[in-house]
Chains A and B, each alone.
Chain A
């Protein structure tokens, strides 16, 4: 059965892979250092090509994009978008996603044992369209004091993301896909998205399909999140819903995220926080980034290493009964081979 994810690049001579590493700003560099330390300790056959992206120049981001095209896979921290720069300066993260056409952002929110939260037994996969919608960065000031921002929805991309969602649901043995939208207000835009989802759903009779309006969705998520299985949605609603779900399972430090395109894959934390206020204080939770690196190893078909590191991380969390927001140093010393 054809898998929905892009094929990883083959390993080089010696069986080693090269992965682009973009430290980003805030807590990105320190979290990725933990990842490198852990990989070195575990003798993972991955070499990192580090590309620093400074927020202000164009060249850096183009170098990063070229490096990812070369290596096929990347692990990244979030790059800060400074408001003080003029509006023509686009978000670097967004530029990266659109240039590489990483059209699907996948996030798996699962209640972790050992983490105290208000809701239990959450297991939601969120698939978010990653390239268009409200993030098209098309804005203009038609008259002084009046700004228009364009939200673009296309049939091609909506069909693509819906197809991705259903294929992934089938691959993982999931039972239901919920489309999140606001088609009662944005009749043409979200209406098109919903229609595309329905068309694709017709081709997967084994998977149930329903739709829910985004404001009702957030309300349901905080009262009964266990009702959701797989959710697919346009860009902005994906931003909101993924952050709500991350908060429900324990916070931004615990959930990894992946961005898949046809040819490339970039892994990062799900909620894409820069974390400036806690940077360089050794208190950032590395779990999300470590689990993202495990997802990357799975993608490179290095399943044994991925499982080993994942188990180590989850066991450490379980045994030390992590209290979120408490200072915790990443300690990859509990290892089980």
Chain B
């Protein structure tokens, strides 16, 4: 019943969303190569004439009332209003005193699901071909709850927290995603043979949610079996849903299969329909400002964003232009094996986008 109401709510909201007219998106350029790749993405969107208006915001943490670290109120207001954000890489200075910025954003907007679609890029050869899977990772609890104690000197305990609510939410999201993106199966990844109660609870919730989605195949697999099979034959996997730590490891493993973090998009879905899409690579301070960065990861995340907003035509156009540029290998940045600059790579994609019209 709850599912029917929430699905109906989503349908009603999407019906009333303005189809024509500009949509505002909060843009967080980030640090290091962040500003240049954000500029690249904005240029490409302009060339594609996508109806997106960018609202640039800075999210460097400040001390709020009560002494807690928060993101600046303008940034929070902007995100709450626009609901959609695009973020470049953020650095976490070691002695800054504040927690990781990514963690702060996650907590502020309750970004409970991290979605990483991994698809082999034609033209960027890796030992693995035909990879087409999606990892959906629970992003708020699990092993990353940050609860640790020193019990006695020399004995440390870290607590892994699994709750019924969070497990149900992520399972529901996974099945909804599979349904909306025409995916055939969802696999829950766990280690319930060892962590009987915690992963057992996660698995039970996944099974319960699977009952409501009979047309999507649901399987369960141990984490080690998934790893083993993933490096031998990644084509057997479709959508994978899992708790935090396994998701962290597996999503990076899958990114490695298609070519690394420089070409992998990522999206974080939160409560109240907030969604922040981001590139997951680092700030690369050694090449910042030298026009050498590869904007592919941020661009593909922006494409994911367009799909999330229902703008499938624009997303297809930009994605095709990007993939064709990489496939033709004439204009590639250094990390993809070429010698071109970021601006040249961007210009090439813009040209292809314009040619498509």
Of residues 144 through 192 on chain B, the ones whose CB sits less than 8 Å from some CB of chain A are 144, 146, 148-150, 153-165, 191-192
How far apart sit A218 and B191, CA to CA, in the bound complex (Å)?
18
Chain B 247-275 interface mask (CB, 8 Å, partner A; 1/0)? 01111110111001100000000000000
Which of A137, A216, A223 has the most chain B CB atoms inside 10 A of its CB? A223
Assess whether B126 is in contact with A223, with CB atoms less than 8 Å apart. Answer: yes
Given A148-B161, A185-B146, 19 more A-B residue pairs with CB atoms under 8 Å apart are A83-B200, A94-B194, A118-B127, A134-B191, A134-B194, A139-B197, A148-B198, A149-B195, A152-B155, A154-B155, A186-B143, A192-B156, A216-B252, A218-B227, A222-B231, A223-B260, A240-B223, A244-B230, A244-B253
Assess whether A244 is in contact with B157, with CB atoms less than 8 Å apart. Answer: no
Contact A246 B228, CB 8 Å, known A118-B128, A145-B163, A240-B249: yes
Give the Cβ gap from A240 to chain B, nearest Cβ, in Å.
5
How far apart sit A192 and B151, CA to CA, in the bound complex (Å)?
13
Chain A 116-135 interface mask (CB, 8 Å, partner B; 1/0)? 00110000000000000011
Which of B223, B228, B255 has the most chain A CB atoms inside 10 A of its CB? B228
Assess whether B158 is in contact with A222, with CB atoms less than 8 Å apart. Answer: no
Is A91's CB within 8 Å of the partner chain B?
A: yes
Is B224's CB within 8 Å of the partner chain A?
A: yes
Assess whether B158 is in contact with A150, with CB atoms less than 8 Å apart. Answer: yes
Assess whether B162 is in contact with A251, with CB atoms less than 8 Å apart. Answer: no
Instruction: Tally chain B residues at the interface, Cβ within 8 Å.
Output: 54
Give the Cβ gap from B297 to chain A, nearest Cβ, in Å.
14
Assess whether A271 is in contact with B158, with CB atoms less than 8 Å apart. Answer: no
Assess whether A151 is in contact with B198, with CB atoms less than 8 Å apart. Answer: no
Interface size class of A (residues with CB under 8 A): 35 or more
Is B196's CB within 8 Å of the partner chain A?
A: yes
Is A317's CB within 8 Å of the partner chain B?
A: no
Of residues 239 through 253 on chain B, the ones whose CB sits less than 8 Å from some CB of chain A are 245, 248-253
Q: Closest residue of chain A to B229, judged by CB? A: A247
How far apart sit A218 and B143, CA to CA, in the bound complex (Å)?
18
How far apart sit A274 and B260, CA to CA, in the bound complex (Å)?
33
Interchain CB contact (< 8 A) of B148 among A149, A154, A188: A188
Interchain CB contact (< 8 A) of B160 among A145, A151, A220: A151
Interfacial chain A residues near B162, Cβ < 8 Å: 146-147, 149
Of residues 108 through 161 on chain B, the ones whose CB sits less than 8 Å from some CB of chain A are 126-128, 143-144, 146, 148-150, 153-161
Assess whether A239 is in contact with B224, with CB atoms less than 8 Å apart. Answer: yes
Assess whether A139 is in contact with B228, with CB atoms less than 8 Å apart. Answer: no
Contact A135 B194, CB 8 Å, known A119-B127, A222-B253: yes
Chain A 64-91 interface mask (CB, 8 Å, partner B; 1/0)? 0000000000000000010100010111
Interchain CB contact (< 8 A) of A134 among B153, B165, B195, B248: B195
Assess whether B256 is in contact with A222, with CB atoms less than 8 Å apart. Answer: yes
How far apart sit A214 and B246, CA to CA, in the bound complex (Å)?
11
Interchain CB contact (< 8 A) of B252 among A90, A147, A215, A252: A215
